[in-house]
Amino acid sequence: MNILPLSFYERDTVEVAHDLIGKLLVRHVDGHYLTGIINETEAYRADDPACHAFKGKTERNAALFGPVGHAYVYFIYGNHFCLNIVARELSMISGGVLIRSIIPCQGIDTMLRNRNYPPTKILTNGPGKITQAVSITKKQQGVDVTKQGELYILSGVTVNPNAIHKTPRIGITAAHDRFWRFVVSPEDIQIPAFSNLFVHGHE
DNA sequence: CACCCGATTATCT
DNA sequence: GATAATCGGGTGT
C-alpha cells in the first residue's frame, strides 16, 4: 500500500482521472482516519470549456494552476465544497480531477456523524457529500496529497478496466461530447477480506 | 426509482 | 446582479 507519487499526477488529466478509480483517499483528522475507495471521477482540462481554468486564472481557481498532486477545493451553490486533485501534462497550463464518489472504508461512524446519519449507501456518493463526510473545506486548499499528512492518496485496489464506465460529466452543459467521467459501481470493486486497506496510526 | 425544485453564498462580471 | 462541476426533500409512478 503505497502513496501515489508526484509522477502519477504529471500525466494527461483524463488519464489520471481514469487511473484514480480504485485508489484510496485518506483523510487524517482529529486522530481519526477517514478513508474510502475512489469510484467516480471527472477530468477538467485547461483546453476544455467546462474547466474552471478555461477562461484564465482567478483568485478562486488559482490552485488549478499550481503544482500537480495538490488539492483544489472550491465552494459551490452556497453550500458545498468539492475536492479536485491537480493533474496535468507539463505542456498544459492547468487541469484537475474532481473526486465525485468514494466507497467508505475506514471511520464510517465518524463520517455518518458528520453527515447526520444518512443510509450508508449514499454516505459519500457525491462531491459535496465526500467533503462533508471527511471534513474538507477551503482550509485544505493546496494540500499536497503526495505527502503523508492530513490528506493523501494511496494505491488502493486493482479495478477491472472493463468495469470502469465512461460518460459525459454531470451537471454541466458545455463539452457534453467529452466522455471524461469515470465511474465503477461498488459491486464491481473487490475489497479483499484481509486487505492492507486499513490505515494505522497513533491513536 | 425518476423527476422537479428551492436553498444559499463565494466569486466573477 | 447573475451564476454555479450540488444536495435533499417532495411528489408521482
Question: In this predicted model, what pLDDT tens digit does every residue of A143-201 receive, in sequence order?
Answer: 999 999 999 999 999 999 999 999 999 999 888 899 999 999 999 998 777 677 788 76
Question: Does at least one atom of strand B sit less than 7 Å from the CB of A81?
Answer: no
Q: What is the pLDDT of residues A110-140, one digit of tens each?
A: 999 999 999 999 999 999 999 999 999 999 9
Q: Rounded to 5 degrees, what are φ and ψ at A151?
A: -155, 120
How high is the pLDDT of residue A136? 97
What stretches of chain A adopt beta strand conformation (E)? Answer: 24-29, 32-45, 71-76, 80-86, 95-106, 151-154, 165-167, 181-183
- Identify residue A30 by its one-letter amino acid code: D
How high is the pLDDT of residue A199? 81
How high is the pLDDT of residue A125? 96
Question: Does at least one atom of strand C sit less than 7 Å from the CB of A51?
Answer: yes
Residue pair A143/A70 in contact (Cβ under 8 Å)? The answer is yes
Residue (of A110, A148, A172) closest to A24 by Cα position: A148
pTM of the model: 0.94
Question: Does at least one atom of strand C sit less than 7 Å from the CB of A165?
Answer: no
Q: Where are the alpha helices (DSSP H) in chain A?
A: 6-9, 13-19, 108-114, 127-133
Nearest nucleic acid nucleotide to A76, CA to C1' distance: C4
Question: Does at least one atom of strand C sit less than 7 Å from the CB of A173?
Answer: no
The cell for A61 is 481557481
**Residue A202 pLDDT class (50, 70, 90 cuts):** very low
Query: What's the longest Cα–Cα distance across chain A?
Result: 48
Question: Does at least one atom of strand B sit less than 7 Å from the CB of A60?
Answer: yes
Q: What is the pLDDT of residues A58-105, one digit of tens each?
A: 999 999 999 999 999 999 999 999 999 999 999 999 999 999 999 999
Residue pair A17/A44 in contact (Cβ under 8 Å)? The answer is no
The count of C-alpha atoms lying within 13 angstroms of the C-alpha of A197, restricted to the half-sphere facing its C-beta, is 23
Task: Give the C-alpha distances (Å, rounded to integers) separating A73 from A56, A61, A90, A137.
Answer: 17, 9, 21, 7
Nucleotide B8: nearest residue by CA–C1'?
A78
The cell for A155 is 494505491
Residue pair A147/A9 in contact (Cβ under 8 Å)? The answer is no
What stretches of A30-79 adopt beta strand conformation (E)? Answer: 32-45, 71-76
How high is the pLDDT of residue A201? 61
Residue A203 in this model has a pLDDT that exceeds 60: no
